[in-house]
Chains A and B, each alone.
Chain A
Amino acid sequence: MRVFPLSLAACVLMAATLAAVVAWPGQAGAQQAAPASSAPLTQQDIARMLPATDMGAGHGHGMATYTAATHPGDTSTATSFDAASIPTNPLMPKADPIGSKTCIACHTQENIQASHSLHVASFRAGSERSGPQAACETCHGPGSEHAKNPTAPGSIIAFTHDSKTPPAEQAKVCLGCHAGGARQHWTGSIHELRDLSCTDCHNPMARVSPEGVLAKPSINEVCAGCHQDIRAKFNRRSHMPLPEGQLACTDCHNPHGTITKPLLKTDTVNETCYTCHAEKRGPFLFEHAPVRQNCLNCHDPHGSNQQTLLVAPIPMLCQQCHTMTRHPNDLQTAAGMGTGASPDERVMGRACLSCHTNIHGSNNPSGSKFHK
């Protein structure tokens, strides 16, 4: 019943072989071509090649059980994955588990790749003590029908583009273990409502990202798969250091669902901003209404063509609201530039902010106009 150590050994062996092959491109090319050049397998071929199941699938024996009798002397504690259950496949409700040995007989390469991912590695940890249930079928559902008829749509729970399993069912499988916590608000979130599946962002079958079992090598690349326009904003003159690798979309957003529409990790926009810009939190003796209400009134956190992520050039930004008597409401023109006919501090450099510098709020008793 020690399926995994054998497969693991096979894995390591194949990895070593592959690594050697990689070093010699000519051989690597030949190795790569071999499976592709083979004639497609028929279902009879597959049935003939399949090993006997290691779980007695189809014979009413149910799942194998790890017992003291089968593993005398093992006093180590089981891992938390040992109790992982096998979900029912709604499209094949009568299918039985067959054990990963059977799966791996065909999915050899998948096994190798999955063995390197955090997800499967965690399942494997200690699994030799618990039997094979915490393996392929924990996510893909019982595989007996798939083994009998591998090309039948929906014969197992699949997580890819052509899958017959609806995204909601796919997510249900993942949430079987990953419910709560960061995913407490998945249900009803925008990503859930738009029929996204966990595997739109994650690929637990390969170690494409060294952590997070992501579908692409980094969080930002994953998000940019759909949010291309947002990613492009980060190329603008002022931006947060996302292209420079210092920041990820998930620093501010929780794609698994939150109680805010933009999937912010905090209760409001400002609370998210204050996490890094704690100096802006105050409260200040004198507050600036739009600042306290919402940082997005003046800033676009994804990127801007203006300085400091401003949504419009100053003084225009300020003059959207400041029509008050005297100096705020004059039309500033090219005449006010440093090269203009009448240089004007309301246009030049930091413009309004040259004087109203403490625009995020002032703690000075004389700071009601943010001069101090």
Chain B
Amino acid sequence: MHALEAKVLIFGIGVACASCAFAGDTSGTMRVGDMQFGNALDPRGWTPMLYPADPDGMSYLHAGMLRTPTGLPYRFPPAAADVKPLGKATDWTYSGVVELGFIHVGGGRNAEFFRQYADWKSGFALGLLALDFQNAKTGQYVELRGSRLSGDDQFYRLRAGQYGRYRVEAFYRDMPHTVSTNAYPLWNGVGTSDLTLPSPLIAGASTPGQVAAAHAGSSRRTIGLTRTREGIGIEGTVWRNWIGSASVTNEKRSGTRLWGGSMFFNYPFPDNGGVLETVRPIDFRTTDVNLSVRNVGRIWRFMATYTGSFFRNNQDHLNFESPFRLYNVVGTPQVADIKYGQFSLEPDNDYHNVRLDLSRELKGNGQFTVAAAYGTMRQNDALLPPTTCTGTGGIFIAPPVNYTFNCADWNTTNALSQKNANARIDTGLIDTRLTFRPTPTFGWHANLRWYREDNKTRYLAYNPITGQYGYISENGSQGSIVPGESGIFDPRNPLLHSANVTVRNVPYGYTDTLFELGGDWEVAPKQSLSATYTFDHNQPKYRERKRVDDQRIKLAWVARSVGGATIRASYEYASRTGDHYNYDPYKQFFSESLAGFVDPVTGIAAHTVDDMRKYDLSDRTENKARLILTYPWGDSTTLSATFYGSRDRYDTQIGRQNTSTTGATLQWDWQPTPATTMNVYLGAEGTRLGISNVADNESLIGSNIGQTNPSLGGPLYPYANQWWEFDRERNSNAGLSFSHDFGRVRADVSYNYSGSFGHVGYNYASLAALAYHGPNAAAAAGDSFPDNSYRSNSVDLGLSFRFTNQLGMRLFGRYETGSFTDFHYAGFDNTLDYDHRVYTDKGPQRHYSASLVGAMLNVKL
């Protein structure tokens, strides 16, 4: 255990023990995470405890089950657990269940979707261990719950306490995540931070043919990670009505993920550059601390919470060898030998947040609530040098045209203006709410919220060794292929004094002020109407707009007795506007803002087209509607449905133009007796996203004053280069589940289908819009990508036998089949190597089937 974790653990325990008294409630739903302990075998995490259902149901006074206020049926309760005394001279009793057995997994071993979050393995498995100890006189209890599919998929949780006084909890869990079962990494050292090429490949000196040959011998690997979490927590009363809670959790996340590797473009430079899909290590550890104290009175309610999170990454970089030789595009002898790439991986970070919540009951059936919070996230990791190259980088053409740089001047941290990141973002929040219900049929509320995110990070890319500004792009590869694109600005060097490169970080932040006013009226018994107006005033920093205003009106109708049905319907209309849109607010972060920058003769190429509107800032109108219907149909049947839709329109010629969603769900539930339940559901949803963009006339770049013109329809962004693209997706779901208890045997059957279909289509003003202009460009482009699809069908069968009150057996099986296509992986089944591109992941299987059978002995303890 790290020293930091030990400290916070001791602190947490100290606070916790100091607060052992009694509590009225727990704060579980206040903290993020660890609310659910289950697995793919039993997503609920306690299903064996719920059967058999009590044949006497809930009441002798009426048949069936009552319904929730909305109209959904309450579930028939399970028969009481066998509670046994723990001893003769004690008030303690216990009950428990253990389900233990064997699972056999068949079918595709690499069925990625089947294993995405489940570590299915043939062998013994602990379905559930549940032990409950209770003292009915004192209200004390101890609960243990656990399940184990494998060493990477298990959980154990211990809770103890006394009702209304305190609760302590400790848990341990492993959660698997399979990212790919179809990965063929080229490199050795997968899982470490240094990827090396296999023999006989030589970094920076291998041909595509040699790479493809070596890659063909790579072994299939599974890429994924495991989250291992453990935590302790306690909640209890500190003094009188003051309730305290403390918890500490620690997570270790280990494994691998697919990653990138950029040695500059390949698409415009055949047999040049390098685009590599690598594998990075995951070696994280995060410790979270949550402390709270609250006081609940009749008039005042107060709560103070502290949240601390401490992230540590044991790998701060990924180095990889690039196999390909790089050539400069001007054809002069290559003086650079750039063969390594590097990524900085996520830095360690600390987070603190303190929040105070205060509520007061007011005369006139009102309440005033204020929440105020301060947060800060910080990291000060040591920075890596701008490059790892050695020798000479860049391009030498002929004296005096020398675009080279000395790697030794940049591959050291002495090349940095600061050795550490010193990055920090502070946040502040004030949220006030006033609610009144002066009469039983009328209420109103007002809400004012202010939130600020202040980025205090400041970084200047200045090299004190050379007196130059900027950085080394793509570890030196870009500047060694294209003259003058190393990333360096030098006001003293005529070759570099017009290089417009990033020299400062952009400390994005924003201030958001939101006001809301709403009222609701009970227009008839069990019917209410409400209207809410919201004004959201956002002030982004260093963005294209300094002010974005979103006004929203929402109307809602709730009817809880329309022929016995409950209807909740809402409609909202929103309009977003803002101040002047500056298409290029970033000049201050580029070298063009520095003294000594010389405008090139042909000017500086426009940053982007001025008609572009980024979708989080552009003017927009939005319409949304939703209707949720719950209809109790007789005593034992329930129909429920949801209808929803949204339409967004963005007022722009370039950028996101519209989105829409239309969907519906329909569900039928039937539970005629405690022994029988049945459920059928259907769902469908269609979405559409449309965008527009314009390809620039690249022939002007660096050679024509026209490159400075940002206008749509101008020389750089001609109308002829405009294009449009839409993504249309359809999703459908269907399912059926049936369960019947025959007495000694209960049968469960369920079937689930999930299907998605994605179609990306496009059109364009002329061929100049296309990325590929070559022969037969129009035919090669077509009008769409091949459709993406994902379908899965699964059938689950279960038979549970009760031999005696204490002993039972569950036999179960699952068969799952699916199909998958995604144009991003087209052709990858044949090869992962395309010229200077090397890919690792072939993508999920196009077809898969997997099965699972198991037998579990169920023993009541």
A-B pair number, CB within 8 angstroms: 650
Report the 4 A-B pairs with minimum CB-CB distance, sorted nearest first: A25-B743, A245-B38, A125-B139, A338-B827
B16 at the interface (CB under 8 A from A): no
| B442 adjacent to chain A (CB < 8 Å) | no
A340: B residues at CB distance < 8 A: 772, 780, 826
How many chain A residues touch B (Cβ–Cβ < 8 Å)? Answer: 188
**A218 to B44, Cβ gap below 8 A?**
yes
Nearest-neighbour CB distance to chain B for A5, whole angstroms, equals 9
* B748 close to A (CB within 8 Å): no
Q: B543 contacts which chain A residues (CB < 8 A)?
A: 289
B47-87: CB near A (< 8 Å → 1, else 0) gives 10110101111111101001111111011011111110000
Beyond A181-B294, A323-B608, A345-B265, 6 additional contacts (C-beta under 8 Å) are A80-B24, A217-B44, A326-B698, A342-B772, A353-B260, A364-B343
Answer whether A363 and B36 are a contact pair too, CB < 8 Å, given A232-B685, A241-B175, A334-B781: no
* Cβ contacts under 8 Å, B327 to chain A: none
Contact call B427/A267, Cβ cutoff below 8 A: yes
Assuming the contacts A228-B667, A282-B423, A324-B608, asked whether A244 and B39 have C-beta atoms less than 8 A apart, the reply is yes
Complex Cα distance A167/B527, Å? 12
Within 8 A of A (CB), among B652-694: 654-656, 663, 665, 667, 673-674, 681, 683, 685, 689, 691, 693-694
B423, B802, B844: most-surrounded residue (chain A CB, <10 A): B423
Report yes or no: A337 in contact with B823, Cβ–Cβ below 8 A. Answer: yes
Given contacts A125-B138, A265-B30, contact A219 B36 (CB under 8 A): yes
* Interface residue from B347, B353, B780, B834 paired with A348 (Cβ < 8 Å): B834
A28 CB-CB contact with B under 8 Å: yes
Interface residues of A in 263-293 (CB under 8 A from B): 265-268, 271-272, 274-276, 278-287, 289-290, 292-293
Residues of B within 8 A of A113 (CB): 54, 58, 77
Check if B496 is an interface residue, CB within 8 A of chain A.
Answer: no
Instruction: Judge whether A31 and B55 touch: CB under 8 Å.
Output: yes
Q: Is the CB of B36 within 8 A of A365?
A: no
Contact of A336 with B772 in the complex, beta carbons under 8 Å:
yes
A335 interfacial contact with B, CB 8 Å = yes
- State whether the Cβ of B736 lies closer than 8 Å to any Cβ in chain A: no
Interface string of A199-228 (1 = CB under 8 A from B): 111010111111100011111110001111
* Interface locus among B1-9, B99-107, B195-203, B377-385: B377-385
Chain B residues within an 8 Å CB radius of A241:
116-117, 175, 177
Return chain A residues, CB-CB under 8 Å to B785.
Answer: 333-334, 337
Asked whether any CB of chain B lies closer than 8 Å to the CB of A92, the reply is no
- Say whether A364 contacts B558, CB under 8 Å: no
Chain B residue numbers with a CB within 8 Å of A285 are: 383, 421, 423, 457, 459, 505
From residue 400 to 442 of chain B, which have CB atoms closer than 8 A to chain A?
A: 416, 421, 423-425, 427, 429, 431, 433, 435, 437, 440
Known: A126-B138, A229-B685, A237-B756. A248 touches B55 (CB 8 A): no
Number of interface residues of B (CB under 8 A): 251
Q: Give the distance to chain A from B418, nearest Cβ to Cβ, in Å.
A: 9
Report if A295 contacts B (CB, 8 A).
Answer: no
**Interface: A19 (CB within 8 A):** yes
Cβ-based interface call for A155 (8 A)? no
> Is there an interface contact between B35 and A267, defined as CB atoms closer than 8 Å?
no
Q: List 19 A-B contacts (CB under 8 A).
A: A193-B520, A196-B69, A209-B46, A229-B644, A232-B733, A232-B754, A241-B116, A251-B34, A265-B29, A272-B32, A281-B349, A286-B459, A334-B780, A337-B827, A348-B824, A349-B825, A357-B259, A366-B387, A371-B473
Please tell me if the beta carbons of A160 and B177 are within 8 angstroms of each other in the complex.
no
Q: Contact at B267–A345, with CB atoms within 8 Å?
A: yes
Instruction: Identify which of residues 504-545 in chain B touch chain A, using a CB-to-CB cut-off of 8 Å.
Output: 505-508, 510, 518, 520, 528, 530, 540, 542-543
Contact A160 B68 (CB under 8 A): yes
A203 touching B74 by the CB < 8 A rule? yes
**Which residues of chain B (802-861) have a CB below 8 Å from chain A?**
802, 804-805, 820, 823-828, 831, 834-835, 837, 839, 841, 844
Residues on A with C-beta less than 8 A from B824 are: 307, 313-314, 337, 347-351
**The stretch of A51-59, A65-73, A136-144, A184-192 that contacts the partner chain:** A184-192
One of B185-193, B209-217, B366-374, B594-602 contacting the partner = B366-374
> Does A94 sit within 8 A of B, measured CB to CB?
no
Output the least CB separation between B273 and chain A (Å).
9
Please give me the residue from chain A that is nearest to B428 by CB atom.
A267
Contact residues in A for B607 (Cβ distance below 8 Å):
324-325
Query: Is B29 a contact of A255 with CB atoms below 8 Å?
Result: yes
Binary interface encoding of chain A residues 52-88 relative to chain B, with 1 for a CB under 8 A from any of its CBs, else 0: 0000000000000000000000001001110000000
B residues less than 8 Å from A211 (CB atoms) = 143
Report Cα–Cα, A289/B508, bound state, in Å.
6
Q: Is A294 an interface residue (CB 8 A)?
A: yes
In the complex, per-residue mask of A9-35: 1 if CB is within 8 Å of any chain B CB, else 0: 001101110111111111011011001
Q: Does B125 contact A (CB under 8 A)?
A: no
Which residues of B have CB within 8 Å of A115? 80
- Interface residues in A299-345 (C-beta closer than 8 Å to B): 305-307, 311-314, 316, 319-321, 323-327, 329-345
Return B271 CB to nearest CB of chain A, in Å: 13
Which A residues touch B786, using CB under 8 A? 334, 337
Contact A357 B262 (CB under 8 A): yes
Query: If the complex has contacts A80-B24, A283-B423, A354-B260, are A232 and B731 also in contact, measured as CB distance less than 8 A?
Result: yes
B770/A364 in contact, CB under 8 A: no
Q: A18-B79, A121-B163, A160-B69 are in contact. Are A323 and B609 (CB under 8 A)?
A: yes
Check A236/B790 contact, CB under 8 A, given A23-B805, A330-B769: yes
Partner of B780, one of A106, A254, A342, A372: A342
Contact with A along B287-302 (1 / 0, CB 8 A): 0100000111000010
CB distance B138 to A365 under 8 Å?
no
Cross-chain contact A18 with B59 (CB below 8 angstroms)? no
**Is the CB of B701 closer than 8 A to any CB of chain A?**
yes
Q: Which residues of B contact A369 (CB under 8 A)?
A: 473, 502
Q: Which residues of chain A are within 8 angstroms of B770 by Cβ–Cβ distance?
A: 330-331, 333, 335
Q: Which residues of B are found within 8 Å of A36, using beta-carbon distances? A: 63
Tell me whether B184 is interfacial, beta carbon within 8 Å. Answer: no
Contact indicator B311/A345 (Cβ below 8 Å): no
Contact between chains at A371 and B262 (CB < 8 Å): yes
B36, A278: Cβ atoms under 8 Å?
no
Report which of A219, A312, A331 forms a contact with B689, defined as CB distance below 8 A.
Answer: A312
Whether a CB of chain A sits under 8 angstroms from the CB of B484 is no
A47 vs B134: C-alpha distance in the bound complex, in angstroms? 36
- Interchain CB contact under 8 A, A265 and B608: no
- Chain B nearest CB from A253 CB (Å) reads 8
Whether B58 and A80, one on each chain, are in contact in the complex, defined by CB atoms closer than 8 angstroms, is no
Q: CB < 8 Å: which of A8, A197, A338 contacts B69?
A: A197
Closest chain B residue to A195 by CB distance?
A: B558
The CA of A14 and the CA of B771, in the complex, are separated in Å by 76
Identify which of A232, A256, A314 gathers the most chain B CB atoms within 10 Å of its CB: A232
A116 / chain B contacts, CB cutoff of 8 Å: 77, 80-81
Q: In the assembled complex, which residues on chain A have CB atoms less than 8 Å from the CB atom of B395?
A: none
Question: A96-117: which residues lie under 8 A (CB-CB) from chain B?
Answer: 106-110, 112-113, 115-116
Do B655 and A321 have beta carbons less than 8 Å apart?
yes
B333 interfacial contact with A, CB 8 Å = no
Residue B252 interfacial (CB < 8 Å)? no
A236 touches B267 (CB 8 A): no
- Which A residues are in CB contact (< 8 Å) with B83? 12, 15
A149 cross-chain contacts in B, Cβ below 8 A: none
Chain A residue at minimal CB-CB distance from B40: A244
CB neighbours (8 Å) of A362 from chain B are 344
Report if B623 contacts A (CB, 8 A). no
A296 to chain B, nearest CB (A): 10
A133 at the interface (CB under 8 A from B): no
